Structure 1
Amino acid sequence: MTQQKIGTFSKSTFFYLILGWTLILVLSGLLRLWAEKADCREIAYNEAVAASERDLAYHAWSAGVGGVYALEGKGSPSPNPFLHVDDRDLTTTDGQTLTLINPEYMMRIVWQEKPRAGAAGVHLVALNPINPVNQADEWETNALHRLAGGAAEVAEQVDLNGTPFFRMVRPMPAGESCRRCHEHLGSGSSQIAGAVSVSLNMSSLTVIHRFNLQQSAIAHLLVWIAGVIILFLIIRYNRREQVAQFSAQEATARAEGALDQIMQNTADGLSIIDRQLRIIRVNKQFCQIAGQTEENIVGKSCHEIFPCSHCDWHECPVHRVLMGESHLERDYDLPDPRTGAIPYRATFFPLRGTGGNIIGVIGQFKNIGDLRQRQQEKEDQIRFLQNVFDALPNPVFYKNAEGRYVIVNDAFFRHLNATREEIIGKTDFELFTLEQAETLREQDEELLAHPGVEMTETTLVVASGATREVLLSRSTLVGPQGDIQGIIGVYLDITSRKRAELALAESESRYRMLFESAADAFFIHGVNQPFLAVNETACTLLGFSRQELWVKTMAELGSPECQPDIAHHMQEMELQGQQVFEATLIRADGNPVPVEINNRQIEYQQKTVILSIVRDISQRKKAEEELKRLVNLLVASNDSLEELNAQISK
């Protein structure tokens, strides 16, 4: 069976299954529709029966007692004009008038005065009624005739002005008490004086019926879709199984052909050895390596073709692979009439059956003469790189992806005070403290996960026990195939630089402490530029926060009359280098503050800026004003004394 035939069979089977499933769901839906209609009619029928039974029970009781008398008057029923009996109206001994309420009249009064909301419509009907109101309509007339013909009841669903109604007519048997009122009609031969007609509006039931049908339709649709999906998955699974079986058969045939092609077209010698160590299949390259024909090789044991030192039972690579080892490699120098000997690498790996069990061994013999030459060239390149590394003054290393040191230079040995044997093949955990090794390994893993170049500063304990600060520059080494092979790194001793940075940080900390604790306000800024730094005294003096001061200039802090003068002084700082002047600054609350501004140029963040030292001179100004007042007072007093002295002298 071809794959095309399998596909055609699956499609036709799927079509017929879907068709059958659809018919089942359609039949189920039709049955559900019939059941819903039957349920709807049964509900209407039961409601109509309940309504008629209740009213017939009232009628039977009233008829059994011959009717009841009620008082005439306000709020009471008026006499029945269609009741022709002698004792219809009576007068009690206390003068009250009573009127007879016969069963039919009582039922009409109840229906008219106490209608039940939402209940079925009930009324009396007759072919020849005493009261014209009880005249039967066309449907009721037909129903009454059917009752007269012996039917126990008549019930049907009809449309009245487009609205569905369930109608029922049930006979009202005429008892002996009924003949008192109906004997003038001459109906002595009939036992039916009339009937109770019930009309039930089925609109609400129809809505419920339609809703149930919609829900049923949705449910059937979902079940149909689910069934289609399940059938599709079953067909698909069966098709896969059939295709897999067919593919396996084809694959087996192709594998046989491919095996022949591989064995004959490969450049390496191939042999297949069974569990008895007999060679059962070889290619022409193997025959050339062995120097024998295929007929002379097949059927012999492998050690008969290539006797070697590994043929001891426990060392035999073929036997060890048969015992479960994944693969083994051995190098052989096989005789060659032209060159004397050719190096071959024999690789043995298991041949497994369909159940996964080892049924033999495949031997691959590869000429490794060129490989050995390339290995020699690679070793020469490694020695050259080692010489280049050793010539570098800084410690240099190469670690493989497993984190083991492969190449290091002499400076690295000196850095760790260790020999090559003590470092090559070791990891950081064997050379450094646990904490340092964990840090280095985490950094290596991050670099291997995100290849590139990385520079980090770290602290290492050297062989002498001294702590050195180093800058570790590392980059990933990418192989010819684009794979990450390891990490190359260089150590740069930055201990002196770190000490200088620490001293600078300490100096800056001292400067910051002096800057913040100064009694005068300090402002650092460019020429008419926003402030770069201010101390806490400046914020206290002017009532601004640091953030508010950082967007202002010195001139903007001055009073309107002082702003041009302050800006002019700042411009002249480039020529003068230092200056002292007085000005008036405006606080955040709008109050003026007389100050003395001492400007000088300093280096800040590698550029020349202005340091303005602002001192509050309010008290000094007050003292000067007081002194001036006293001087003026003394001058005035002296003038008065001189005038007095002049008068005395006269």
Structure 2
Amino acid sequence: MEREIAYWKKLYTVFIVGIVLLFIISFVWNLYKENKSIYELAKIEANASYNKDLLYRRWAAMHGGVYVPVTELTQPNKYLVFIPERDIETKSGKKLTLMNPAYITRQVFALAEEQYGVKGHITSLRPIRPENKPDDWEADALLTFEQGNKEYSSLEKIDGKRYMRYMHAMTVEQGCLRCHAPQGYKVGEIRGGISVSVPMDKYYVIFNSRVVSLVTSHLLILLIVFFVSFFAYKRFKYELIKRFAIQRKITESEAELHEQNQEYLALNEQYKAQNDELQEAKERAEESDRLKTSFLQNMSHEIRTP
């Protein structure tokens, strides 16, 4: 009995260890999926931001740029001095300056960073403006574009904060040549890219809430499995011990019956032996009576016959 109980106890332990390992694997896998999901969501936002930037950039290029009032914030672009009528004046005397797509994009980037924390940067391995020089991450991305890739993304830290950094290759279009023709750009060439950096804080809030849900659900299910399996094991062990107890009683009863049967057989043999002895004694007594009677008859006959 002890051996079988020990066997089932070992089997139950293996089952519990297996369940724990299964839940750990499930938790790690779901954690990986959630992390990947957060990464993809941030990448989708970054890509959407890039597409938006590309659209108004194309719109501005389609119109050859946009004239806007000269202000402290919007000064004439010194890199467009070769363009005729870079600066014009209305009949009322208002001074206007031409904003090319890149200039417009930079101002939109500044507003996006100020209001939403999303950073944007137009860059190239051969920038016109020094401010457009790529950082190390952007330089790596631009090198992959030269190898045929169209986009590049990863999670990086900027000023101690986590960002989804995304960069897409920028192809030279016909509208780009008005400003970039002097650099020898040709339509269809990849001459730079737009990088977008999306703050990950809001995504990590979502991720952390999902992690809490994952931990809670896994622990709850694990506890339920533990309790159900524990009580099932206890019940099984009780039934097993009960079965062994019944078997032991049956075995003891069989042994007792066998012993009683042996005693009965022994008594029966003893009774038979005693009965045989009594029969022999009876036969001897009868023989003795017969001989005695025969003797007396003979004596009586001799007495009556002189």
TM range (shorter): 0.7 to 0.9
Partner of 1:79: 76
Unaligned 5+ runs, structure 1? 262-292, 294-650
Name the counterpart of 1:63: 61
| Matching residue within 149, 166, 169 for 1:168 | 166
Choose the corresponding residue for 2:219, options 221, 237, 256: 221
The within-5 A match list for 1:471-620 is: none
**1:44 corresponds to 2:42:** yes
**Residue from 7, 12, 15 that aligns with 2:13:** 15
The 8 Å contact of residues 17 and 231 in structure 1, kept in 2 or not, is answered as: no
Distance 1:160 1:107 in 2: 21
Match of 2:185 among 180, 183, 187: 187
Amino acid across the alignment from 2:129: N
* Number of aligned residues: 259
* Counterparts of residues 334-413 of structure 1 (less than 5 Å): none
Deviations 1:277-305 (A, max 9, x none): xxxxxxxxxxxxxxxx9xxxxxxxxxxxx
1:59 Cα offset (Å): 0.3
Match of 2:110 among 92, 109, 112: 112
**In structure 1, C-alpha distance between the alignment counterparts of 2:91 and 2:258, rounded to whole Å:** 133
- Equivalence for 1:134: 132
Matched, 1:237 2:235: yes
- Whether the 8 Å CA contact 1:6–1:243 is kept in 2: the answer is no
C-alpha distance after superposition, 1:197-230 (max 9, x if no partner): 1112223323432342243233323322221222
Q: Given that residues 169 and 197 in structure 1 are in contact (C-alpha distance below 8 angstroms), is that contact kept between their aligned partners in structure 2?
A: yes
Distance 1:93 1:33 in 2: 65
TM superposition shift of 1:105: 0.8
Residue in 1 aligned with 2:153?
155
Structure with higher helix content: 2
- Alignment-mate amino acid for residue 167 of structure 2: V
Pair member with larger Rg: 1
Match of 2:116, SS state, is coil
Note the alpha carbon deviations across 1:381-431, whole angstroms, 9 max, x for none.
xxxxxxxxxxxxxxxxxxxxxxxxxxxxxxxxxxxxxxxxxxxxxxxxxxx
Q: How many Å apart are 1:25 and its aligned residue?
A: 1.0
Q: How far off its partner does 1:57 sit?
A: 0.7
**d(CA) in 2 for partners of 1:116 and 1:235?**
62
CA displacement, residues 525-583 of structure 1 (integer Å, 9 cap, x when unaligned) = xxxxxxxxxxxxxxxxxxxxxxxxxxxxxxxxxxxxxxxxxxxxxxxxxxxxxxxxxxx
Query: Matches of 2:236 and 2:21 in 1, distance apart?
Result: 24
Distance in 1, matches of 2:213 and 2:79, equals 54
User: Which residue pairs with 1:53 in the alignment?
Assistant: 51
The whole-number CA distance in structure 1 between the counterparts of 2:199 and 2:90 is 45
Deviations 1:142-189 (A, max 9, x none): 111211222111111123354322111112222222112112223348
**Aligned residue identity for 1:196:** I
Give the superposition deviation at 1:76: 7.4
Distance in 2, Cα, partners of 1:113 & 1:49? 18
**Matching residue of 1:330:** none
Flag the structure with more relative contact order, 1 or 2, with Cα contacts below 8 A and sequence separation at least 6: 2
Distance in structure 1 (CA, Å) of the matches to 2:191 and 2:254: 103
The whole-number CA distance in structure 2 between the counterparts of 1:114 and 1:141 is 23
Letter in 1 for 2:79: F
Provide the residue aligned with 1:513 in structure 2: none
Q: TM-score with structure 2 length normalisation?
A: 0.75
Give the residue type in structure 2 aligned to 1:121: K
CA distance in 1, matches of 2:192, 2:217: 48
Q: Deviations over 1:239-294 (max 9, x none)?
A: 22222222222234556788999xxxxxxxxxxxxxxxxxxxxxxxxxxxxxxx9x
| Partner residue in 2 for 1:92 | 90
**Per the alignment, in what secondary structure is the counterpart of residue 79 of structure 1?**
coil
Within-5 A mapping of 1:273-312: none
CA contact (8 A) 1:48 1:198 kept: yes
CA shift in 2, pair 1:113/1:214, >3 Å: closer
Contact preservation (8 Å) 1:125, 1:194: yes
Distance in 1 (CA, whole Å) between partners of 2:117 and 2:127 is 25
Q: Which runs of 5+ in 2 are unaligned?
A: 260-270, 272-306
| Structure 1 Cα separation of the partners of residues 162 and 113 of structure 2 | 21
Q: Distance in 2 between matches of 1:113 and 1:35?
A: 33
Q: 1:79, CA displacement in angstroms?
A: 1.4
- TM-score of the pair, normalised by structure 1: 0.37
Matched to 2:132, the amino acid is: N
What is the distance in 2 between the residues matched to 1:229 and 1:103?
66
Aligned 8 A contact 1:173 1:193 in 2:
yes
Aligned residue in 1 for 2:175: 177
Q: CA deviation at 1:23?
A: 1.9
CA distance in 1, matches of 2:91, 2:157: 55
Which deviations, in whole Å up to 9, do the C-alpha atoms of 1:6-65 show, x marking residues without a partner? 321221111111122122112111211211111111111111011111111110111111
Change in CA separation of 1:53 and 1:24 when aligned onto 2, cut-off 3 Å: same
Q: Distance in 2 between matches of 1:189 and 1:206?
A: 41
SS at match of 1:100: strand
Q: Using the alignment, how far apart are the partners of 2:40 and 2:127 within structure 1?
A: 31
Deviation at 1:94, TM superposition (A): 4.3
Amino acid at match of 1:48: A
Structure 1 pair 257–190 and aligned structure 2 pair: CA distance change class (3 A): closer
Asked if structure 1 preserves the Cα contact closer than 8 Å seen for 2:172 and 2:185, the reply is no
- Write the distance in 1 (CA, Å) between the matches of 2:229 and 2:73: 75
> Among residues 244, 247, 272, which one is paired with 2:245 in the alignment?
247
Give the root-mean-square deviation of aligned CA atoms.
2.7
Flag the 1:115–1:27 CA change in 2: closer, same or farther, 3 A: closer
Could you tell me which amino acid in structure 1 is paired with residue 74 of structure 2?
Answer: P
What secondary structure, in the 3-state scheme, does the structure 2 residue paired with 1:236 have?
Answer: helix
Identity of aligned residues (%): 29
**CA distance in 2: counterparts of 1:163 and 1:113, whole angstroms:** 19
- Counterpart contact for 2:171–2:187, Cα < 8 Å: no
Which residue identity does 1:238 align to in structure 2?
F
Does 1:143 find its partner at 2:141? yes
> What is the aligned partner in structure 1 of residue 208 from structure 2?
210
Residue 143 of structure 2 aligns with an amino acid whose one-letter code is H
Please give the secondary structure, in 2, of the residue aligned with 1:109.
helix
